[in-house]
């Protein structure tokens, strides 16, 4: 099926032609066939007028925990260890697979409402999460969490991860991978086994690295090294690795990231809320390391408004380095789209709006006052997107040529019913965990 989105302002992410003030986007079978002004790119098939609206590549949320919306607002304002011990761990112990599925669907709704088209996850109940993502119409990289200890889902989390990867490895929109939690909770032996299995199965690994000062102390005390150097010794970085947080990395660690092109994902809002520290992104960019943003889970964010998180991440960099020119909006856009696609191995088909790429895109509306005025150049429009707009400005979201949300209505599932279910399930979990 061929149709055309017509008359829109488009930020493309294509270095050759980054912006069109009025363009047609011709979509055939879920792929962008042509894009450009009407004179050189006439409409084909049905026309959907987006006159004057801003269209951008769909955002890629490079670090998330789908079912954690269940724990939103629990234990707010507690220090990290108190938050974990008094709120998160008791609540997580009462979560079932069906809870995870419903919560993952709610998370998909929230991400779609915020213009996110691909989400990169790590959690247990990976199969439930994948089922929810498939129903929502989103795209996802889903890491099945591997622990040294049992999870609420499985006694052998590594075998569960292998089974999950086998089940989804040929799926169109789900890319399965391993999700070892972190080097301070999982042993080098576990990472070594995952490194070998990931190489054998040809899949990615999604893990946390360098999130807290406590991790640095723990790894130095136990192994006399850093998390990054420890993981390099396990052979993990011979695979494509998505590393979340990266706050406490040494210059030598950053060299290791550069050597292996480890994808560095930054979650500034989660880090700020838990007072873990402020990620310094600039040295990673200087070293040529692919970088991206993630929301982290809703339990530590609490929203999934990736555009707002990127703005905060950019502003923190400017202030840390006392340089307003550092980390311009174009860099932020790349971290939300093309570089994020590169980190997950999909730069050839995601993160840009150009012929041959997937029709994954987001439409922003001018209905709110914060969206006015808009401007006429690529640089101004990109700054408008990063600094002025937020998730509330998202009008419609598309994946593979299909509207997941159109004019603020989720089209792929009954969102109000899911929200009601999650409300009931979250209340039950909080009561069972003694958190009321
Ligand atoms: Zn995380």
Residue of 252, 261, 246 lying closest to 293 (CA atoms): 246
Give the Å distance between the CA of 265 and the centre of ligand 1.
Answer: 10
- The pTM of the full predicted model, rounded to 2 decimals, is 0.98
pLDDT over 80 at 25, yes or no:
yes
Give the Å distance between the CA of 208 and the centre of ligand 1.
Answer: 6
Q: What is the pLDDT of residue 79?
A: 86
CB 67 within 8 A of CB 95: yes
Give the Å distance between the CA of 296 and the centre of ligand 1.
Answer: 5
Tell me how many degrees the CA angle 273-130-106 measures, rounded to the nearest 5. 50
Give the Å distance between the CA of 212 and the centre of ligand 1.
Answer: 12
Give the Å distance between the CA of 193 and the centre of ligand 1.
Answer: 22
Cα separation, 340 vs 350, in Å, equals 9
Give the Å distance between the CA of 228 and the centre of ligand 1.
Answer: 17
Cα separation, 317 vs 210, in Å, equals 18
**What's the whole-number mean pLDDT along residues 204-212?**
97
Which tens digits make up the pLDDT trace of 342-401? 999 999 999 999 999 999 999 999 889 999 998 889 999 999 999 999 999 999 999 999
**How is the chain split into domains, by residue range?**
2-58+352-408, 59-343
**pLDDT band at 152; cut points 50, 70, 90:** confident
CB 88 within 8 A of CB 146: no
CATH no., domain 2-58+352-408: 2.30.40.10
Tokens of 289: 């390391």
**What's the whole-number mean pLDDT along residues 167-177?**
97
Give the Å distance between the CA of 33 and the centre of ligand 1.
Answer: 37
pLDDT over 90 at 321, yes or no:
yes
**pLDDT band at 165; cut points 50, 70, 90:** very high
> What Rg, from alpha-carbon coordinates, does the chain have?
21
pLDDT over 90 at 128, yes or no:
yes
Give the Å distance between the CA of 300 and the centre of ligand 1.
Answer: 9
Give the Å distance between the CA of 361 and the centre of ligand 1.
Answer: 25
pLDDT over 90 at 81, yes or no:
no
Q: What is the pLDDT of residue 435?
A: 85
Cα separation, 56 vs 60, in Å, equals 12
Give the Å distance between the CA of 270 and the centre of ligand 1.
Answer: 9
Tokens of 137: 């119409």
CB 262 within 8 A of CB 241: yes
User: 277-288 burial by CB neighbour count: b if 16+ within 10 A, else e?
Assistant: ebbbbbebbeee
Residue of 188, 351, 344, 147 lying closest to 262 (CA atoms): 344
**What's the whole-number mean pLDDT along residues 104-120?**
98
Q: Is the Cα torsion angle 374, 375, 381, 386 positive or negative in sign?
A: negative
Q: What is the pLDDT of residue 175?
A: 98
pLDDT over 80 at 88, yes or no:
yes
Give the Å distance between the CA of 360 and the centre of ligand 1.
Answer: 25
Give the Å distance between the CA of 182 and the centre of ligand 1.
Answer: 9
Q: What is the pLDDT of residue 80?
A: 82
**What's the whole-number mean pLDDT along residues 233-237?**
98
Tokens of 9: 């302002």
| 413 secondary structure, DSSP code | S
| DSSP letter for each residue of 148-183 | SS--SS-S-HHHHHHHHHHHHTT-SSEEEEEEE--T
Give the Å distance between the CA of 6 and the centre of ligand 1.
Answer: 39
Give the Å distance between the CA of 163 and the centre of ligand 1.
Answer: 22
Q: What is the pLDDT of residue 375?
A: 85
- Looking at every residue in the chain, the average pLDDT score rounds to 96
**What's the whole-number mean pLDDT along residues 181-185?**
95
pLDDT over 80 at 127, yes or no:
yes
Q: What is the pLDDT of residue 84?
A: 87
What is the topology classification, in CATH, of domain 59-343? TIM Barrel (3.20.20)
pLDDT over 80 at 436, yes or no:
no
Give the Å distance between the CA of 383 and the centre of ligand 1.
Answer: 28
Tokens of 331: 């860099």
Give the Å distance between the CA of 45 and the centre of ligand 1.
Answer: 43
Q: What is the pLDDT of residue 366?
A: 82
CB 179 within 8 A of CB 207: yes
Which tens digits make up the pLDDT trace of 236-277? 999 999 999 999 999 999 999 999 999 999 999 999 999 999
Neighbouring residues of the ion ligand 1, judged by CB less than 5 Å: 296
**What's the whole-number mean pLDDT along residues 222-234?**
98
Give the Å distance between the CA of 306 and the centre of ligand 1.
Answer: 14
Q: How far apart are the first and last CA of the chain?
A: 52
**What's the whole-number mean pLDDT along residues 304-311?**
98
Give the Å distance between the CA of 267 and the centre of ligand 1.
Answer: 8
């Amino acid at each position: 099926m061929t149709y055309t989105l017509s008359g829109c302002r488009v930020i493309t992410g294509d270095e050759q032609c980054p912006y069109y003030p009025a363009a047609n986007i011709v979509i055939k079978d879920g792929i962008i066939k042509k894009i450009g002004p009407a004179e050189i790119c006439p409409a084909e098939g049905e026309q959907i007028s987006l006159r004057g609206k801003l269209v951008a590549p769909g955002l890629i949320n490079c670090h998330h925990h789908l079912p954690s919306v269940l724990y939103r607002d629990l234990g707010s304002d507690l220090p990290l260890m108190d938050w974990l011990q008094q709120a998160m761990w008791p609540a997580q112990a009462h979560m079932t697979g069906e809870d995870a599925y419903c919560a993952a669907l709610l998370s998909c709704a929230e991400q779609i409402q915020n213009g996110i088209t691909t989400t990169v996850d790590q959690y247990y109940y990976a199969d439930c999460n994948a089922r929810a993502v498939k129903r929502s119409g989103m795209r996802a990289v889903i890491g099945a969490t591997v622990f040294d200890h049992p999870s609420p889902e499985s006694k052998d989390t590594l075998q569960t991860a292998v089974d999950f990867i086998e089940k989804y490895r040929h799926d169109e929109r789900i890319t399965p991978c391993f999700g070892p939690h972190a080097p301070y909770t999982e042993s080098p032996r576990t990472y070594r086994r995952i490194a070998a299995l990931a190489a054998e199965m040809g899949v990615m690994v999604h893990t946390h690295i360098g999130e807290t000062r406590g991790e640095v102390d723990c790894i130095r005390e136990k192994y006399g090294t850093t998390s990054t150097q420890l993981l390099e010794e396990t052979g993990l970085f011979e695979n494509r690795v998505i590393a979340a947080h990266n706050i406490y990395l040494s210059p030598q660690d950053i060299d290791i990231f550069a050597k292996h092109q480890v994808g560095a994902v930054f979650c500034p809002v989660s880090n700020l809320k838990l007072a873990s520290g402020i990620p310094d992104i600039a040295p990673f960019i200087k070293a040529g390391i692919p970088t991206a943003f993630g929301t982290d889970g809703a339990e530590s964010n609490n929203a999934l408004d990736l555009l707002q998180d990127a703005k905060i991440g950019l502003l923190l960099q400017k202030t840390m380095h006392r340089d307003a020119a550092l980390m311009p909006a174009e860099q932020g856009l790349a971290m939300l789209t093309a570089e994020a696609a590169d980190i997950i191995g999909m730069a050839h088909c995601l993160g840009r709006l150009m012929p041959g790429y997937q029709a994954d895109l987001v439409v922003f509306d001018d209905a709110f006052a914060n969206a006015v005025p808009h401007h006429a150049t690529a640089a101004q429009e990109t700054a408008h997107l990063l600094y002025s707009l937020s998730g509330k400005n998202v009008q419609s979201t598309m994946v593979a040529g299909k509207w997941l949300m159109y004019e603020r209505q989720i089209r792929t599932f009954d969102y109000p019913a899911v929200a009601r279910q999650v409300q009931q399930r979250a209340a039950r979990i909080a009561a069972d965990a003694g958190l009321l």
